[in-house]
Amino acid sequence: MATTTQMVMKLTFIGMIMSMVLGLIPLAYGTIPCGKIQVKLLPCLGYARGPGGPAPGQCCNGLRALNNEAKTTPDRQGACKCIKTTVLGVPGINLATVAAIPSKCGINLPYKISPNIDCNTVR
């Protein structure tokens, strides 16, 4: 029998996928489609709901791949907007845990993951 946390995570995942399919979540802010960004960061979802600790390898790998792919200012701004929208739309997210993911993964993002970030200022 699945725990409540597992059920919430499954329903959240299904909701994210349905939102992408139905077009409720914008699919592109820059040249990298938001749906692709969300798939790369999906392994971070369970971790982002917790108290922190070492970041899972799959989460770090997804964020690293995204950071390597976002080479231009529009790419970085688009990724920032997608991450911000996604983080704010997922219930139960620990914002402090999310903000710490890049440093825990040894990744230098050109912005801080925060609901207050102005993604238009990202270069």
Q: What CATH number has the domain bearing residue 78?
A: 1.10.110.10
- Does the structure show a pLDDT above 70 at 115? yes
Name the residue among 50, 57, 39 with its Cα closest to residue 104.
57
pLDDT digits (tens, 9 = 90+) for 44-57: 988 998 888 899 99
Q: How far apart are the C-alpha atoms of 67 and 111, rounded to whole Å?
A: 11
Q: What is the pTM of this model?
A: 0.72
Q: Are 73 and 122 in contact (CB under 8 A)?
A: yes
The total domain count for the chain is: 1
The pLDDT score that the predictor gives to residue 30 is 57
Cα(112)–Cα(18) distance, integer angstroms: 28
Higher pLDDT, 123 or 58: 58
DSSP 8-class letter at 42 = G
Within 10 A of 18 (CB to CB), how many other CB atoms are there?
Answer: 11
Residue-wise pLDDT for 54-68, tens only, equals 999 999 999 999 999
Full residue range of the structural domain in which residue 97 is found = 4-121
pLDDT of residue 3: 62
CA distance linking residue 90 with residue 115, whole number of Å? 12
